[in-house]
Chains A and B, each alone.
Chain A
Amino acid sequence: MAYEGKGVWCVGEVRHGDLSPSLFELITAGRIIADARSETLTAVLIGKGVAAKADEVAARGADKILVLEHDALDQLVDEAHTGALTAAAGTEKPRTLLFSASVYGRSVAPRVAVALGGAVASDASALTVTDGKLTLERSAFGSAVISTVAVNAADGPEVVTTAPMAFERSGTSETKAEVTQAAVDPASWTQNTEFVSFSADESKEIDLGGAEKIVSGGRGLGNADNFSLIRDLAKSLGAAVGASRAVVDSGWIPYKHQVGLTGRQVRPRLYVACGISGQIQHLAGMKSSDVIVAINTDADCPMMKLATYSVKGDLTQIIPAIVSEIDKVRGSSNGS
């Protein structure tokens, strides 16, 4: 039985009261599809108390906002979020559902695709619609290849996750999206998961996934204490803190900061690699960054060879000099 869906849903993530800006990346991506097919774009807000977020989203390029509100959706319980989205999509029949390729997206999008008998593809960094058919580009093999994937969902919707930071965030629009509520009934899904607790990270650090700027440190730091240099520069630039596996394995910084094949894949506007040689497994996680700055004593290492700006020197001297130069520049521009 062929599936006759229409419209694009962009599923937003609200965690502990905060709306992830990845929704605005999804709206940019979703507009490509919706405009090509002359369909409407709906931003979906799902959770508890998320109706209050509709104002933040109303003038950001969506045609409609659909609110799925229920106490049972307060935390990420995969079956609950899947159940609520599946029920709503079963009624509204969107042709496309977009999620960010975060833990949320990787957990919920595949389950929704199975429940609705659709197709699922991950990590889109570009989307094209030709004669109504959707294709996407994604990287594979440790960012060594870009593959083009055709999506042919006959029996259900197309479910796609987009690579974080691959699409610009949508700007403000003139028109305001109309808000509607969808019914949520926990009896419509089977739940074998119980949410127990959440423990917040003590350090309120900028998360790597959605970071515009990242400063990363590697073995060239020499010792764990020198990570303070990385944190200083990150603070000065308003950047998140990343690391190579060498220093994570040495216990200088927790795993969640690791960038690379076996860590996080990131795509910031600015990536500053300090004392990182640029082995292929590290590059796999960050080489799609717009601007790369390398600071290294070895001008011939791979990172220095591919950096947009390479600075040859000892990072223990260079980084403090950069921080004070930034202070100086900011100071004079504030004064003028």
Chain B
Amino acid sequence: MGIHIAVCIKRTPSSTSVAIDESGQIQTAGLPHGINPFDEYAIEEALRIKEKLEGSKVTIISAGAPESEDVVKAALALGADEGVVVTDPAFDGSDTMVTSLILSKTVEKLGDVKLILFGKQTNDGESGHMTALVGARLGRPSISAVRKVTDIDADSITVQRLMDDGADTLKLNLPAVVGVTKEINEPRLPSLKGKMRAKKAAIPKWGAGDIGVDAAVVGKDASPTGVVKMEPVPARTAGTAITGETPEELAKNLVEKLKETKFI
């Protein structure tokens, strides 16, 4: 029996060479954007589950600027069935806590979603909190750092979670929220047919009203945390080139330095 799978993906800059203006705001306008690299693994895993559980459906959710349509289409080209962009000027400046409300309300609106997949983290905000936040918001189990889905049926999913000292295997009753690592699979490339289909697809855009959230509980002012300013990380200055004619001399001079700095 098939299940409805939702995959949350974020449109992020593909490059980290970002500029910061005088007010401490990040300038990403001119940069190329794409699917957050970690989310490609979540899409791929959804497609694999769909292939395994016949009759399943994969819906992509992306919250952000209207341009997020591009990443939703890219996911459709890979084989996702449907997608929605959740966008509203009222969402601007939402922190992770509020973004999790937007995403969980969207999942609820889709209605029959049994599995919600996330990437490990984004390459811009980088909190890696969204999986657990959405799980808690929905009152459902969540699990992050998943490196393998060992079993899935219409009622439960069994996964392996990568820990520092090994791997935990856990079984979650569906609906469940799962965040995957890059180790989980090797994402496919889009097919020509998929690209054609994606190009023609109309992607619905949902605003605050559509997902049933009051504009007063989203956005910058409603967020319990806020970015005050951003500064570029100061570049590291060049250090000391270790001198020596032979490997032995180089090694001796390096080890001397490491002794001075108490590493040896």
Binding site for B on A (CB under 8 A): 15-16, 75-79, 82, 101-103, 106-111, 113-115, 118-123, 135, 139-155, 190-201, 207, 209-210, 213, 237, 255-256, 261-262, 269-270, 280-281, 284, 287, 291-293, 299, 305-314, 317-318, 320-322, 324-326, 329-330
| Cβ contact within 8 Å between A150 and B123 | no
- B143 contacts the other chain (CB 8 A): yes
| Cβ contact within 8 Å between A192 and B141 | yes
Partner of A145, one of B26, B127, B161: B26
Which 10 A-B pairs give the minimum distances between C-beta atoms? Answer: A119-B224, A321-B251, A114-B136, A142-B16, A110-B132, A308-B239, A122-B127, A317-B247, A196-B169, A192-B173
| Cβ contact within 8 Å between B166 and A110 | no
Chain A contacts of B228 at CB under 8 A? Answer: 135, 147-150
Chain A contacts of B261 at CB under 8 A? Answer: 270, 291
22 A-B pairs in the complex with CB atoms less than 8 angstroms apart: A15-B163, A15-B164, A78-B143, A106-B127, A107-B131, A110-B129, A122-B127, A142-B16, A144-B16, A147-B231, A149-B226, A150-B228, A194-B171, A196-B171, A293-B258, A305-B238, A309-B240, A312-B250, A321-B250, A324-B251, A325-B248, A329-B259
| Cβ contact within 8 Å between B263 and A213 | yes
| Cβ contact within 8 Å between B248 and A321 | yes
Dominant secondary structure of chain B at its interface with chain A: mixed
| Cβ contact within 8 Å between A108 and B225 | no
| Cβ contact within 8 Å between A140 and B166 | no
Q: How many angstroms from the CA of A101 to the CA of B127 in the assembled complex?
A: 9
- B91 contacts the other chain (CB 8 A): no
Partner of A325, one of B173, B182, B252: B252
Chain B contacts of A313 at CB under 8 A? Answer: 247, 250
| Cβ contact within 8 Å between A256 and B162 | yes
Taking the closest CB of chain A, its distance from the CB of B156, in whole angstroms, is: 9
Chain B contacts of A306 at CB under 8 A? Answer: 235-239
User: How many A-B residue pairs lie within 8 Å, measured between CB atoms?
Assistant: 262
Chain A contacts of B139 at CB under 8 A? Answer: 190
| Cβ contact within 8 Å between B127 and A200 | no
Q: How many angstroms from the CA of A110 to the CA of B96 in the assembled complex?
A: 9
Q: Given known contacts A147-B227, A152-B224, A324-B251, what 8 new A-B pairs fall within 8 Å (CB)?
A: A107-B145, A149-B226, A149-B227, A151-B224, A193-B170, A270-B261, A293-B258, A318-B251
| Cβ contact within 8 Å between A280 and B16 | yes
Q: How many angstroms from the CA of A272 to the CA of B22 in the assembled complex?
A: 36
- B126 contacts the other chain (CB 8 A): yes
Residue of B96, B168, B242, B251 with most chain A CB atoms under a 10 A cut-off:
B251
Partner of A309, one of B13, B124, B135, B242: B242
Name the residue on A nearest B235 (C-beta).
A306
| Cβ contact within 8 Å between B254 and A311 | yes
Taking the closest CB of chain B, its distance from the CB of A95, in whole angstroms, is: 13
Interface size on B, residues (CB 8 A): 82
Chain B contacts of A110 at CB under 8 A? Answer: 96, 100, 129, 132-133, 136
Chain B contacts of A197 at CB under 8 A? Answer: 168-169
Partner of A192, one of B131, B172, B241: B172
- B30 contacts the other chain (CB 8 A): no
Q: Which of B167-225 contact A (CB under 8 A)?
A: 167-173, 176, 181-183, 224-225
- B158 contacts the other chain (CB 8 A): yes
Q: How many angstroms from the CA of A190 to the CA of B136 in the assembled complex?
A: 11
Chain A contacts of B226 at CB under 8 A? Answer: 149-150, 152
Q: How many angstroms from the CA of A102 to the CA of B164 in the assembled complex?
A: 9
Chain A contacts of B131 at CB under 8 A? Answer: 107
Partner of A107, one of B127, B143, B257: B143
| Cβ contact within 8 Å between B126 and A109 | no
Name the residue on A nearest B261 (C-beta).
A291
Taking the closest CB of chain A, its distance from the CB of B60, in whole angstroms, is: 21
| Cβ contact within 8 Å between B96 and A120 | yes
Q: How many angstroms from the CA of A207 to the CA of B164 in the assembled complex?
A: 6
Known interface pairs A114-B136, A121-B225; A146-B127 also in contact (CB < 8 Å): no
Q: How many angstroms from the CA of A150 to the CA of B238 in the assembled complex?
A: 33
Q: How many angstroms from the CA of A20 to the CA of B255 in the assembled complex?
A: 30
Task: Write the B101-116 contact mask toward A (1 if CB under 8 angstroms, else 0).
Answer: 0000000000000000
Chain B contacts of A146 at CB under 8 A? Answer: 230-233
Chain A contacts of B20 at CB under 8 A? Answer: 145
- B65 contacts the other chain (CB 8 A): no
